[in-house]
Amino acid sequence: MLIRPESGWPQQVRDWKIVNSESFRNLDDLLEYCEIDRSGSVSTDGVEFTTRVTRYFASLIEKGNPLDPLLLQVLPTVQELQHVDGYSRDAVGDRQSMPVPGLIHKYHGRVLLTLTGACPIHCRYCFRRHFAYGEAGVDYGSDGPVMRYLSGHEEVNEVILSGGDPLMLSDQKLAKLIAKLNCIPHIRLLRIHSRALSVLPERITKVFIDTIKQFAGRVVFVTHINHPNEISAHNRAAFHRLSQQGHGLFNQTVLLKRVNNSAQTLAELSNRLIESHIVPYYLHCLDKVEGAAHFDLSRKEACGIYRELRSRLPGYLLPLMVEEIPGRLSKTPVICR
């Protein structure tokens, strides 16, 4: 069934900063809300990466279901402490590709800014869960090293705002950054990678949209949604507000064991995304980050799922399955024959 998007601006919107501050930050509170008992492997003992889940995301978790695919994305377990060969703290080689603090330059024509370490949700498989954000702060409002680097690299025409989650920055800070980028004529594309778009839709305010409009070039958004249950009328309304402004919306999904490792789930996700004005873009194989090995699938399993997905979907709904190999000049498509 085609979902009819909501129109207009909601009459009453709560301040996103207050909504964000009400997130679950304590495992017991989250489990109590989800009506789930602490089982043997669920634990925060010794786990550095803290628990954080927005109330909205938690509301989509099925009560009493310890295997809920949304819950499993945010539930800390003792498996995160296991050392597994081949999994490292810098799984994608970000640190070797940072010519100035906060700016990652790996690929031709585009750079990524790690604007903040803050996120509205802590995804247990996150490839930046060990990232040294303290050493990578961006002085985004000044003519500091990031702006000097961008000015001096005319081959770079796209800036990707990332983090953490760039939408954890205030609109004032984003406006300052945009004003600086507007002074560099060869920066014509602004890409915003954010999980707040789907897990904290209150963030998409009129002020935010007006702030983004100040960018002189084109703006595209990349959402991060892994399961069809993450889409509801609440965040669909936010996606619709962005698409009404003419911004492109794309989604990347991480292939995760016990969360979305079935062609049926991924096909349903692609359909829900397109109904929400979002193009399914990448299906990422898990970055081999320390603490996340229990989410990984063998290449054989991943290809089996992808082949079935390809047989179920028209080409425009099929995300490209990719992996990130440190040192390569682009994401690498995974070839499944």
Interacting residue ranges for ligand SF4, rule: CB under 6 A = 119, 121-123, 126, 128, 163-165, 195, 224
Least distance from C-beta 122 to ligand SF4, angstroms?
5
Answer for the pair 141, 172: CB distance below 8 angstroms, yes or no: no
Least distance from C-beta 182 to ligand SF4, angstroms?
26
For ligand SF4, which is the closer residue by CB, 131 or 215?
131
For ligand SF4, which is the closer residue by CB, 80 or 147?
80
Question: What letters, b where the CB count within 10 A reaches 16 and e where it falls short, cover 78-102?
Answer: ebbeeeeeebeebbbbbeebbebbb
For ligand SF4, which is the closer residue by CB, 195 or 240?
195
Least distance from C-beta 249 to ligand SF4, angstroms?
17
User: DSSP labels for 271-285?
Assistant: HHHHHTT-EEEEEEP
Least distance from C-beta 123 to ligand SF4, angstroms?
3
For ligand SF4, which is the closer residue by CB, 252 or 276?
252
For ligand SF4, which is the closer residue by CB, 112 or 273?
112
Helix crossing, 263-275 with 299-312: angle to 10°? 50
The single-letter code of the amino acid at 304 is: G
Nearest-angstrom CA–CA distance, 99 and 64: 48
Least distance from C-beta 195 to ligand SF4, angstroms?
4
For ligand SF4, which is the closer residue by CB, 3 or 297?
297
Region of 258 (left: φ > 0; alpha: ψ -120 to 50; beta: rest) is: left
Least distance from C-beta 234 to ligand SF4, angstroms?
18
Give the HSE-up count for residue 182: Cα atoms under 13 Å, Cβ half-sphere.
14
CA distances to 57, 147, 192 from 140, in Å: 30, 8, 15
Nearest-angstrom CA–CA distance, 49 and 309: 33
Least distance from C-beta 161 to ligand SF4, angstroms?
12
For ligand SF4, which is the closer residue by CB, 91 or 119?
119
Instruction: Tell me the sheet residues that pair with 222.
Output: 193, 250
**Cα dihedral across residues 72, 73, 76, 79: positive or negative:** positive
Give the distance from CA 284 to its chain's centroid.
12
For ligand SF4, which is the closer residue by CB, 111 or 263?
111
Q: Cβ of 225: how many Cβ atoms within 10 Å?
A: 25
Least distance from C-beta 131 to ligand SF4, angstroms?
8
For ligand SF4, which is the closer residue by CB, 119 or 160?
119
Least distance from C-beta 291 to ligand SF4, angstroms?
12
Residue carrying structure tokens 């309304």: 237
| E strand map for the chain | 103-107, 110-114, 158-162, 189-193, 218-224, 248-254, 279-284, 320-323, 332-333
